[in-house]
Structure 1
Amino acid sequence: MAEFIQHDRHHEPFVGEIPVPHGPATGDEHEHYPGPTPPAANSEQERAIFSYLTHPDDIYTEDGTYWADLPLGKRIAFINKTQNEEAKAELKAIGRMMKKDPLSPISWYFRNAILPGAGLGLEGYVLFSIGNLDPLFKSTWPQCWGKNATECSSNWVASVTYLEVIGIMVGQVVVGVIGDWIGRRWGLIQDAAIMFVGLLMITASWGLNLQGWVICYAWSLFFYGFGVGGEYPITATSSMENAVSSGKLSTRDDRLHRGRKVTSAFLMQGWGQFFNQALLIILMLILHHGDGSPPYSTVTTQWLWRLSFAIPAVGTLWLVYYRAYKMPHASRQLAAAKKKSNVTGYDFESLKATYSFFGGRLLATAGTWFCNDVFFYGNKLFQAQFIDVISGGESTVMTGWIWNLYNVIVSLAGYYLASLLIDNKFYGRKMMQQVGFLMCFIMFVVPAFHYDYYTSKAGIKAFQAMYFLSSFFNQFGPNSVTFLVAGEVFPTPIRASAHGFSACIGKSGALLASVLYNYIDTQTKFYVVPWFGLAGMLLTWLFLPDTTGLDLKEQERRWAYIRSGRENEYHGIAIHPKHLSLWERLRGVGKNYNPELDHKQKLDDIREDWAGKERARANMEAGGEPTGTEDLEDDHYTDEVHRYFRNETGAKVSYHGAVMTPASVSPAPASSSKSSTEAMNEKSG
């Protein structure tokens, strides 16, 4: 929605590529531009000129105080004012859109939520269809899926779930590395292509006997799962970096709606589950007699499950085309970060530094995802047994599917509420995840110790309510938040790798549930599962930083200091106690936070970036090759900034021994004449 709002805003910058803080000059670095330090008398003039870059009004007050530094009363007033103004601006934007074209909000949602999350939607459709089809297979082929199977090995039947989850885990790690090594775009295309071929394999799977078919089916799911696993790190990072549109990190939209962007794509997983379950019900009514009650013929079952996989294959083929030809800039932010660090290929130095500086964050993102997936996939795996309990043990396949459809609808409500509140500074990521884990713990631990009552006629309604509430709070909590923060709390060069690693450890929780649940009864599952919710809440509280309202540009800026070996000289908001975990605060990470020193450093960083752009312009006008480290097309400096720096440097900038004057420099576009989004739209369209 911001692309429509920002037409009414001036001086909205693109601030994304942060220069590495300069230290002693080396022979390979650009010579720092000459010029005296501005006198103290210019401090107010500097604040007026640079405030749109150093103190954006959506996170700073007029006097330059960061929102998290305000006393509680003033903080509440500031946050409410900012959020209310943003809500009004969005409503006005929607009104203008509808006045121009009544259907334009739908097309906007399609472009900004459905398309970015299409891969996850297709993944959710197929991934959870396996569990939905399981009771149908048990009813049709009891000699293979039953407890007393005679034609199939129980190990091969169980491997249908195991191989699917293992394929996902492998894909998450491998494609996460590919996303940081070769690029986001390649990962996006590769995942869609693998999922398309995997769907063809699943749809066409066959065997000389039932066990042969089960083996073919299981390995087809493993192949498909590899593509599914890759969707997690690639979709999260590309949505977060908004590579398709601007390739920049720091805009008002990023600060206020970054979480909503990512979760809007992620919640397509819920719609995938919904459409799968709805389609299975429709196909059952079409291909089977009456109300869908047993017995089920093998012909009906074969047609039903093969059609259910063939239909999403068409959408996946279209996704391959869309990603290959309509997403040319998906790797732009990663490429810019690598150029800043002078890295080609995989950034092993960033990976090593991440373990050193962000080890606690890795523990938080991986550990909480593990706890969540025991809940999330465990819930899915034993939903048929739960439905047997609440239906008195007389449920049919159709009954189970209808109950599951209700559960998916409740989950979708959780997905959307998470998207609505995940950027709210009063609630936000960390609180949402803690509350979600706590509620899941309560909703399972209560029936665990009063199982006989809640499975009786007197308590069954409360049992149903608690089960559905656990699904709601799982989405309105850890399932949505883990997907977002697993990439958000790490720097760009290894973001996909960290996300993929966290997701892989998370899926090991799903694997644990799928193995464990084969050996314990329903009541024991309720005894075991709650403690993963409690563990997830404690891991979140201790190790997860709260990035709600944090400008991601500041995370990249802090990373530049870390990469240059000057981490203790960074004083900005990325180490504000509000945005650090308890573990990081106990280790003293936030001790260097100092707004005044940070303001001076920001101005130095801006000077360095400006000088680099001016040198690059002079070099290109002199016939030289572009350095590749300055993005001249997205110059976010106003005319006032250019005049200030040129006056400060005596209208001269040194470029490797040459002297460049303003006459030799093409004037930079003033951001007051065009919003950043207008300039972006002109370039892309």
Structure 2
Amino acid sequence: MSDSKDYQLDALDSENKKVPTEVTELPDESDNARSTSPASAWTVLVQGVALFSDGYNVQIMGYMQTVMAKLYPNELTSSLKTRLSNSILVGEVIGMLLFGLCIDRFGRRVGIIATTVFLVLGIVLSTAATGNTVTGMFWMMIVSRGLAGIGAGGEYAVCTAQALETADSNHQLRARRGLLVTISTNLAIVSGFVGSSIVAIIVIAAYGNKASVGIWRVCFGIGIFLPLTIFFFRMRLLDSTQYRKHAIQTNIPYMLALRKYWRPLLGCSLAWFLYDFVVYPFNLLAPTLVSGFTKNPTLLQSVGWSALINAFAIPGAIVGGFLTDYIGRRQTYALGWGIVVVLGFVIGGARFPLGNVFPLFVVLYGFFQSFLSVGPGDCNFLVASESFPTPLRGHFLGFAAAVGKAGSAIGTTVLTIALNSFENPTNGQQVLFLVGSGISLLGTLVVIFMIPNHPPTLEEGDAKFREYLEENGYDTSAMGLTGKY
């Protein structure tokens, strides 16, 4: 019923303005007006290219640390390894918070420009990292990857908000909103993880399977191409119709919004924190976990096996995308995480027997990664963007993602220490899977009791928020950008 009413309003508005109902942006009546194009699956999915780049740039460090450990065995201490892994994650937290605010106040397009600048600058500096000492070079790399992280973190808010609002712009896209958004977010990022492993394998093979400075410089530098390639195309995409209709750029009602949305904000933030606490350490430590089965593995063996394991997340992301539209967001969330709980306990409990059956370990570990992607991997982005109104979507989405990224930094530190605290590596791996399973069980409970059902349309959620503001004495007459262009 609400869909029908929305379409009638859209049709009336379009008749008055002579704009087709499927156009994703409101008309620009200024002298410098830019043309817009009808919403399509392509305009949704293009957002995923930027997040693919983010996944690549985050994960490539895990593989390059294997190379660096052979090049700089004395200088690359455990503390420097942790800082190298966490620097981009810390930058991402800053970027998520900063650009979450930015895209609500100044528009989605402004965020595209600023995030790309930070990302490209950070990649260039980390690729060219140097110093009077090896330790100095590492510190330049740490700072540079932090800058890249600010841009990458900002893309979480920018890309997810733009993808969701575009996917809700007409009836045909809305029917596949869950699938389109999950492809543009989680699938893009995990594909970036796998892409980084493929690049690492090719470059290592080109260097004759021997550690070389050129390997990490080439692999870092390749990360610059995608963000630059799509930058000019993304610049042509204007802010979504939903944002232009409901934006609040001044006098933002923070307290009223928190009073209404504190529960989903807490639920989304906790769920994302627990997911990243598990998934990022397991991605970064994949070469270490697999190398425990082989004495003195080559670079290609370490990277190749971990690439295979991480590749299991791709079919998981695709299956999860279909399930979000078919059985619902919360149900997909809980289902995926529940299966991860079982798999984690099985792998942890049977870790010693699995030591004699390496292929079975790889398959079980792969399914562990796959169902992490089916449930929380897909639903974190989707639920955290659908649960909040358009005027504050960037704020709340950015905050939830930042809390999640803090979980990845903390999880990487804690689980790495746990893994290294055992003389027998197998004992450490056993504890790792049991802890990951326990965290996943807690995440399943958070989803069941704190995650809301998604609104059928974004307009329905935005209309309820506007009504709530009016009931509490907030002047809504200045909401939206119509008439300001």
Which of the numbers 333, 337, 354 marks the counterpart of 2:242?
333
Query: Counterpart of 2:286 in structure 1: which amino acid?
Result: Q
Counterpart CA distance in 2 for 1:335 and 1:185 is: 12
- Are 1:126 and 2:30 matched, yes or no? no
- Are 1:218 and 2:121 matched, yes or no? no
- Are 1:138 and 2:69 matched, yes or no? yes
Contact 1:15 1:250 in 2 (8 A): no
Residue ranges of structure 2 left out of the alignment (5+ in a row): 14-20, 22-39, 420-427
Corresponding residue for 1:283? 203
Shift of 1:257: 1.4
1:36-435 aligned within 5 A: 111-113=43-45, 115-145=46-76, 154-242=78-166, 249=168, 251-266=170-185, 267-288=187-208, 292=209, 294=210, 296=211, 301-324=212-235, 326-327=236-237, 329-330=238-239, 332-338=241-247, 343-345=248-250, 347-349=251-253, 351-389=254-292, 391-424=293-326, 427-435=327-335
Q: 1:331 to 1:13 in 2, by over 3 A?
A: closer
Corresponding residue for 2:395? 497
Corresponding residue for 2:348? 448
Query: Counterpart of 1:161 in structure 2: which amino acid?
Result: S
Q: 1:528 to 1:256 in 2, by over 3 A?
A: same
Shift of 1:629: 7.3
User: Could you give the per-residue CA deviations for residues 267-304 of structure 1, whole angstroms, max 9, x where no partner exists?
Assistant: 2222222222112111112222xxx2x5x3xxxx2212
The DSSP-based 3-state class of the residue aligned with 2:74 is helix
Counterpart CA distance in 2 for 1:518 and 1:467 is: 17
The DSSP-based 3-state class of the residue aligned with 1:144 is coil
Q: 1:18 to 1:208 in 2, by over 3 A?
A: farther
Contact 2:67 2:216 in 1 (8 A): no
User: Could you give the per-residue CA deviations for residues 625-645 of structure 1, whole angstroms, max 9, x where no partner exists?
Assistant: xx98768xxxxxxxxxxxxxx
Which of the numbers 526, 537, 558 marks the counterpart of 2:433?
526
Shift of 1:354: 2.3
Q: Which runs of 4+ in 1 moved over 6 A?
A: 16-19, 627-631
Q: How many residues align?
A: 444
Counterpart CA distance in 2 for 1:392 and 1:315 is: 35
Counterpart CA distance in 1 for 2:386 and 2:315 is: 24
Corresponding residue for 1:467? 365
The DSSP-based 3-state class of the residue aligned with 1:344 is coil
Contact 1:423 1:429 in 2 (8 A): yes
Shift of 1:498: 0.4
Shift of 1:206: 0.7
1:592-603 aligned within 5 A: none
Query: Counterpart of 1:365 in structure 2: which amino acid?
Result: C
**Computing the radius of gyration over CA atoms, which structure comes out larger, 1 or 2?**
1
Contact 1:433 1:478 in 2 (8 A): yes
Identical-pair percentage: 22
Greater share of residues in helix: 2
Counterpart CA distance in 2 for 1:544 and 1:322 is: 35
Counterpart CA distance in 1 for 2:480 and 2:312 is: 49
Q: 1:564 to 1:250 in 2, by over 3 A?
A: farther
The DSSP-based 3-state class of the residue aligned with 1:358 is helix
1:528-677 aligned within 5 A: 528-547=435-454, 550-565=456-471
Counterpart CA distance in 1 for 2:359 and 2:243 is: 51
Q: 1:466 to 1:255 in 2, by over 3 A?
A: same
Query: Counterpart of 2:465 in structure 1: which amino acid?
Result: W
Shift of 1:111: 4.9
Shift of 1:217: 0.5
Shift of 1:555: 0.9
Counterpart CA distance in 2 for 1:418 and 1:429 is: 9
When the two chains are superposed, the root-mean-square deviation of aligned CA atoms in Å is 2.9
Counterpart CA distance in 2 for 1:435 and 1:450 is: 23
Query: Counterpart of 1:277 in structure 2: which amino acid?
Result: S
Corresponding residue for 2:25? none
Q: 1:140 to 1:483 in 2, by over 3 A?
A: same
Contact 1:254 1:551 in 2 (8 A): no
Q: 1:250 to 1:159 in 2, by over 3 A?
A: closer
Residue ranges of structure 1 left out of the alignment (5+ in a row): 1-9, 20-52, 54-107, 244-248, 568-611, 613-626, 632-685
Shift of 1:452: 2.0
The DSSP-based 3-state class of the residue aligned with 1:205 is coil
Q: 1:628 to 1:252 in 2, by over 3 A?
A: closer
TM-score (norm. length: structure 1): 0.61
TM-score (norm. length: structure 2): 0.85
Shift of 1:566: 7.0
Shift of 1:517: 2.4
Query: Counterpart of 1:117 in structure 2: which amino acid?
Result: G
Contact 2:278 2:439 in 1 (8 A): yes
Counterpart CA distance in 2 for 1:123 and 1:136 is: 21
Which of the numbers 7, 31, 40 marks the counterpart of 1:13?
7
Counterpart CA distance in 2 for 1:174 and 1:566 is: 28
Q: 1:463 to 1:493 in 2, by over 3 A?
A: same
Q: 1:195 to 1:445 in 2, by over 3 A?
A: same
Q: 1:17 to 1:366 in 2, by over 3 A?
A: farther
Contact 1:176 1:233 in 2 (8 A): yes
